[in-house]
Amino acid sequence: MPTTRRQVSKAVTRLSSRASQYHGAVTLYEATGSAQPSTLRSPSPKPSKRIKLEVDSNFSELSDLSDLSDLGTPSKSLHKTLRTAKLEDTELEEDTSSRVRSKSSKKPKPIPQSLDTPHPAPPRWKEAYDAIKIMRTQTVAPVDTMGCDRAQHNETDPKNRRFSTLVSLMLSSQTKDEVTDAAVKKLRTAVGGTLSIDAIISADDATISDAIAKVGFWRRKTTYIKKAALRLRDDFDSDVPKTVDELCSLPGVGPKMAFLTLHVAWNLNLGIGVDVHVHRITDRLGWHRRSPKNPEETRLNLQSWLPTELHREINHTLVGFGQTICLPVRPKCDSCTLSSSGLCPSASTKSAKSPRKRKRRSTSDLERESGPKVDIAIESSEL
C-alpha cells in the first residue's frame, strides 16, 4: 500500500467539510486558506492497480484527519467497499496473467532422430548381439507370448488392430507383460468384445479402471486412454497416426511407445524402441562411451551406429534376454555365454558358496559340558 506523509501548514485558519463519496454518514474535512501539501505517488501506475491506489489514497486521507473530534470511525459499509475494490483488482490481475500464459504456450518440439556427433560403434558388438540371439532361441520369454504384438490378434478390423496395439503399449509402462496381457483381454471384454476407439469413448471411466486395475498407475492410464481415444476420433479420423511426433502428441505416449507402435501397427521401421531392458543391457555391455542418463539418450546412441535393419528387432531380442537371463537384479551371468567369452565387461561369475558344514561334536565333549554329574542311589528295602 503506498504511504503518504502528512504535512500540516502553519497558515491553516479554517476547515471546510463535505460528504464522503463512499458513505453519506461520513463527513470529510479539508483545510483551506493555504496551499495543500502535495502527495508523492509513483508515476502512472498500472491499470490493474488504479482501483486499489485510488481507494487506498482516499482511505489515507481519512486516516490523516482522525485527530479531528467531529470525524468518527469509518463505518462497516466503507470497509466493505474497500474490500470489494481490492477483490476486483485481484481478479483482474489473475485474468491478465492467464491471458499472458495462454499466449506464451509453445508447440511441442519434434522428437530428435540423430546426434550432432554420431556415436561410434563399440568393438565386437556384432559377436555379442549374435550370441544373445542364440541364447534367446533356447528359452521362451514373456514377451514372446504376451508382447504388444499379441494384442491385435483378436481384432479383425485394421483400425481396431492398430488401436489395440497402442492401448497395450500405453498399459505396459511400469508393468510386466503378463499383467498387461491380462488387462488388455479384460478391457476388451468390458467394452463389449471389441477394443475400438468408439467403444473406449462410450465406456465410463469406472469400467475402464476396473478392467486395468492391476497395471501400474491405472488411474492415470484410464484418463490417458480416454483422452487419446477422443483425440484419435477428432484429429486422426478414428485411426492411429503414422508419425512419431503425432503419436507423441497423444496423452501418455512417449518415444518408446511411438516407435513400437509404428513397428507393429504400421510395419514402419523409423527408429528404436528403447525400454528399461534395452537401456540396462546395452549399458552393461559397454556399448556407450559413458552411461546414458535415460532411454532417449540410449536410443540416439544406438541409432548412430546400429544398422537400420536391426532397429526393429533389437527391442524384442533384448527385452526377452532381460526377462530371462540379464535380470535387473542378480543377473544369471553363469548361464550367459557372454561371460565366458569376455564380451560382457559387467559379468560377475561368482561361484556358489558351499553350505557351511556343521561341526560334529563328540559324545565326550557333550558330557564335559553337561555340568556336574549326580549319582542317585536307589535303596530297596526287603519286605
Residue environment code for 121-159, b if the CB has 16+ CB neighbours within 10 A, otherwise e? ebeebeebbebbeebbeeeebbbbebbbbbbbeebeeeb
Task: Fold for 125-340, please state it.
Answer: Endonuclease III; domain 1 (1.10.340)
Q: Confirm if 244 and 271 have CB atoms less than 8 A apart.
A: yes
Residue 1 CA: distances (Å) to CA of 53, 54, 57: 8, 11, 9
- Percentage of residues in the chain having pLDDT higher than 90: 62
**353 is annotated as an active-site residue:** no
Mean of pLDDT values over 235-255? 97
Q: What is the pLDDT of residues 146-168, one digit of tens each?
A: 999 999 999 999 999 999 999 99
Domain boundaries, given as residue ranges, for the chain: 14-99, 125-340
Task: For residue 259, give the nearest of 328, 314, 317 by alpha carbon.
Answer: 314
Q: Which of 46, 103, 106, 256 is catalytic?
A: 256
- Percentage of residues in the chain having pLDDT higher than 70: 68
Q: What is the pLDDT of residues 27-70, one digit of tens each?
A: 777 776 554 444 445 455 555 544 444 444 444 444 444 343 33
Task: For residue 207, give the nearest of 220, 222, 221, 194 by alpha carbon.
Answer: 222
Residue type, 10: K
Rounded-to-10 torsion of CA 96, 98, 103, 105: 160
- For 310, the 3-state DSSP assignment is helix
Q: Say how many residues make up the chain.
A: 383
pLDDT score, position 65: 40
Q: What proportions of the chain, in percent to the nearest 5, are helix, strand and coil?
A: 50, 5, 45
What predicted TM-score, i.e. pTM, was given to this entire model? 0.65
pLDDT score, position 89: 43
In the chain, what is the greatest distance between 2 CA atoms, to the nearest angstrom? 146
The highest-confidence range among 61-75, 345-359, 360-374, by mean pLDDT, is 345-359
Q: What is the pLDDT of residues 282-322, one digit of tens each?
A: 999 999 999 999 999 999 999 999 999 999 999 999 999 99
Q: What is the pLDDT of residues 87-103, one digit of tens each?
A: 344 333 333 333 333 33
pLDDT score, position 204: 96
Query: Is residue 250 predicted with pLDDT exceeding 70?
Result: yes
Q: How many CB atoms lie within 10 A of CB 289?
A: 10
**pLDDT averaged over the chain?**
80
- For 27, the 3-state DSSP assignment is strand
pLDDT score, position 44: 54
pLDDT score, position 297: 97
